[in-house]
Chain A
Amino acid sequence: IQLTQSPSFLSATVGDRVSITCRASHDISSKLVWYQQKPGKAPNLLIYGASTLQSGVPSRFSGSGSGTEFTLTISSLQPDDSATYYCHQLKSYPITFGRGTRLEIK
């Protein structure tokens, strides 16, 4: 199952509402996860089951979607949100990642 993320790069200002889209090549129900990764660090789980916020993740992060189209939204961008974001499907093997969206804070 291929995952296509868009955009691949995003530049936004503190306080902005931003969205990242992930499209799956086949129906993956709600078996989608979002990760945040900062340079030189391991990925950090943000959202699982397409829309469930991982414990400890700020509530400005939210996920939506099912089937083949999913969205990660940051409601009010903070400086600490500068990172690369990956979607990840767990519907079937081989489990796959999107190519990532690099988010820059202006």
Chain B
Amino acid sequence: EVQLVETGGGLIQPGGSLRLSCAASGFTVNSNYMSWVRQAPGEGLEWVSVLYSDGFTYYADFVRGRFTISRDNFENTLYLQMNRLRAEDTAVYYCARGGPAAAPMDVWGKGTAVTVSS
């Protein structure tokens, strides 16, 4: 079964760091575009980052320099390292297979909630 499962969310103080994980099954992360999308409470969807199969990455302006997307091919897992967290980063973070026009996001995890608060 094709599936994504995110873990690693929680409550973190402003300025802190957190690493989200997204374990894939039924397909290989390194052969696909993989993205992170977030949704603040009561708000819409907001694209965060994408990782291409060739290793190329793109970030939304509001996370560039603070967040890093990566993968572990052996573990078949996607990661999002989040540093210097701000209150406005509070959201449910979803990982998804796909990203660019050639591969729209067709498989999504259930999401992991991140709350940045003192």
* Interface: A61 (CB within 8 A): no
Question: Which of B45, B104, B110 touches A97 (beta carbons < 8 Å)?
Answer: B45
Q: Are B104 and A86 in contact (CB under 8 A)?
A: no
- Residue from B58, B101, B108 with most neighbouring chain A CB atoms (10 Å): B101
A98 to B44, CA, bound (A): 8
A94 to B46, CA, bound (A): 10
Q: Are A54 and B106 in contact (CB under 8 A)?
A: yes
Residues from chain A with Cβ under 8 Å of B109 in the complex: 42
Residues from chain B with Cβ under 8 Å of A41 in the complex: 110
Interface size class on chain B is 20 to 34
Q: Are A97 and B47 in contact (CB under 8 A)?
A: yes
Q: Are A43 and B104 in contact (CB under 8 A)?
A: no
A76 to B102, CA, bound (A): 30
Residues from chain A with Cβ under 8 Å of B79 in the complex: none
A91 to B104, CA, bound (A): 11
Residues from chain A with Cβ under 8 Å of B100 in the complex: 90, 95
Interface size class on chain A is 20 to 34
Contact with A along B86-117 (1 / 0, CB 8 A): 00000000101001110011101111000000
A90 to B106, CA, bound (A): 13
Residues from chain B with Cβ under 8 Å of A95 in the complex: 47, 50, 99-100
Query: Which residues of B line the A interface, CB within 8 A?
Result: 37, 44-47, 50, 58, 60-61, 94, 96, 99-101, 104-106, 108-111
12 other contacts beyond A90-B101, A96-B47, A97-B44, with CB at 8 A cut-off?
A41-B110, A42-B96, A42-B108, A45-B106, A86-B45, A90-B100, A90-B104, A94-B60, A95-B50, A97-B45, A98-B44, A100-B44
